[in-house]
Amino acid sequence: MLKRSLGAALACAGLLASMATAQTMTPMAMQAGGAMPHDHARHHMHRHGPVGLSGRHQIPEGRMVLVYRAGAMAMSGIRAGTDDLDAATLVTTVPNAFAGMPGQPPTIRMAPVEMTGEMHMLGAMYGAGARLTVMGMLPYVKKSMTMRTYAGPTGTAVLGQSTTRSDGLGDIRVGALWSLHEAGRSRTALGLGLSLPTGSISETGQMLSPMGTTPTMRLAYSMQLGSGTYDLHPSLTWEAGRGALNWGAQARGIIRLGENDEGYRHGHEAAVSGWLSYRAAPWISYSGRLEYRHAGRIHGRDPRIMGPSLGADPRNYGGRYVTLHAGADLAPKKGLFKGHRIGVELGVPLYQNLNGVQSKTDWTLALAWRKPF
C-alpha cells in the first residue's frame, strides 16, 4: 500500500533527475513576498495560500527571499490503532518488545505523559532561472518528553516521572522548484528536495527506571534530532484562482535512501493536501487545508535503544493521519514590517490510525517570516 502511495512521488523524482536540473523544495519550503517587478507583483498578490504547505512559490529570476520559520507540536495520551488506552491498561497488558532480556519486564512500564517539539529554520530562496528556484534551510531542533514510570516488573503503582530533552542542529535541507506550466492564475510546479544527515541520532538522557535508578541511556527514535539518512522530498503542486479565492492541491513524499549508521531507517511517507484561501484585504488572506498523510514504521533498529517504553520499539512509529489546518498570511503595507510577509497555520488532527501503540498528536503550529530582496 505504501509503495502505491509513493508511486507518484517516485515518478516526479525520476522526471526531475532526468532533466538534470537538480534539487527542489523541501517540506519546509517557503512563500515569497514583497516588492517585485510589475508583472511578478501583479501575479504574486494573487498567490496567497497556506503558509505550512511546501513548494508553492517561484522566485523571479535574480531575486532572493530570506526566510525564518518556526514549527511546534504537542503529543499526549496513548492510542493503539484508532483506540485510546489508559496508562494502567498500557503497563499491565502491552508487551515489552525486549521481554526476556536481562532486567527487562514482561510489559511496558514507562507510560508517555507528553511530548513537545520545536523547529527553527533559517534559509534563503533564489530565482536561478525563469522557471527554476533553488533554496537551502538550516534547522535547529528542540524536543522534550515526559514519562511516568511504574514500580517493579508488574502492577500499577506509580514510582515517579522523568523528563528528557534533546536539542541541536537538525538535518540541513537543499532543493529546487521547477515551474512546469503557468497560465494566468493557473500553475503547476515540480519539486525535489534533499535533506542531509547532519542531525544527531545518538542523543542520550537520564530516565527513571522501574527499579528506581536513573541510568543514562540512548533516547527513543522520536527524540533524536535527525533521520541519519539522505532523504528525497519530491512534490507536485497545482494551484489556480479567481477573484479573491485561490485553491490548489499537492502530492508529496519522503523517500529514505538506505539505512543510517545505527542500523535503521525511518519509514517512507506520502501525503496529499487540498486547500482553499481567501484574500479578505490587500494585506491579509485566510486559508483552510485538509491533508492525508501515510507514514511507514521504522525498519531495523538501533541496538542501543531499548527498554520497557513505547518509543524504544520501532514498530510503534508511523500510521495514517487526516489533519485540518487553518491559517492567515499578512503583508503589511506600512510600518515596521512593510515589505515583509508573516504567516501562521494551526493544524488539528481529525483522524489518527497509528502503527502499534503510540502517543497521539494534539496540534501542530507553523509560523513564517519572509523578506524579499
For the segment 327-363, what is each residue's pLDDT rounded down to a tens digit?
999 999 999 999 999 999 999 999 999 999 999 999 9
Helix (H, G, I), strand (E, B) or coil at 44: helix
Question: Cα(198)–Cα(13) distance, rounded to whole angstroms?
Answer: 22
Domains in the chain, ordered, with CATH?
2-372 (2.40.128.130)
What residues contact 189, with CB distance under 8 A and at least 6 apart? 55, 56, 58, 177, 178, 179, 180, 235, 236, 237
Q: How far apart are CA 101 and CA 150, in angstroms?
A: 19
For 163-201, letters b (16+ CB in 10 Å) and e give ebebeeebbbbbbbbbeeeeeebebbbbbbbbbebbbbb
Low-confidence ranges of the chain (pLDDT < 70): 1-46
Q: SS3 for 170?
A: coil
Q: Residue 293's pLDDT is what?
A: 98
Q: Is 76 exposed, middle or buried (CB count within 10 Å of its CB: 0-12, 13-18, 19+)?
A: middle
List the end-to-end C-alpha distance of the chain, in Å, as a whole number.
44
**pLDDT score for 29:** 31
pLDDT in tens, 186-214: 999 999 999 999 999 999 999 999 999 99
Name the H helices within the chain: 2-5, 7-19, 38-44, 87-93
pLDDT, residue 58, reads 87
pTM of the model: 0.86
Cα distances from 321 to residues 116, 179, 192, 367, in angstroms, run 18, 29, 23, 21
